[in-house]
Amino acid sequence: MVTLRLATSEDLEKIWKMQVEAFAGLLEKYKDYELSPAAEGIDKIEARFAQEGSAYYFIEAEGADVGVIRIVDRKDGTRKRISPLWIMPSYRGRGYAQDAIRAAENICGTHHWELDTILQEKGNLHLYEKMGYHQTGKTARINDRMDIVFYEKD
């Protein structure tokens, strides 16, 4: 089990550093220097933090911050969004991403969610489908190595 701890503005540099580390492997694999979270500056984290309905949470387990999840819930009838979610490399494969999604749903409700992920990352697809998300049929080509696939959960 994990606990979600709401991040504050004082946590943004830590979140940014964690994000860069967590997504470094995907940046190397897909060479997406424009959109990859590993290539973003801290200003992107600050801008998302300031958005209406946006909240970052540390994913806590084993006495450590094992990852981060950002939830966007505008509370206006639009879909709630997970973007991004990551588990640090040394903590992967232990079910923490599943637990974090369940915890997010405990906070915001289990219905009317959306997210997107890399189509070529089969583990991500399995995770989200296991958690009740279904592909919308929409994809976006990023480069010759990578596509983004869009998911919803009702």
pLDDT beneath 50, residues of the chain: none
Q: Where are the alpha helices (DSSP H) in the chain?
A: 12-30, 42-50, 96-108, 122-130
* CATH fold group of domain 3-153: Aminopeptidase (3.40.630)
**Residues 6 or more apart in contact with residue 149 via CB below 8 angstroms:** 116, 117, 118, 119, 125, 135, 138, 139
Q: What is the pLDDT of residue 11?
A: 98
Q: What is the pLDDT of residue 63?
A: 97
Q: What is the pLDDT of residue 57?
A: 98
- Cis upstream peptide for 84 (omega within 30°): yes
Q: What is the pLDDT of residue 29?
A: 97
Please say whether the beta carbons of 114 and 104 come within 8 A: no
pLDDT digits (tens, 9 = 90+) for 114-135: 999 999 999 999 999 999 999 9
Tokens 């919803």, located at residue: 152
Q: What is the pLDDT of residue 103?
A: 98
Q: What is the pLDDT of residue 67?
A: 98
The domains of the chain are located at: 3-153
Q: What is the pLDDT of residue 131?
A: 97
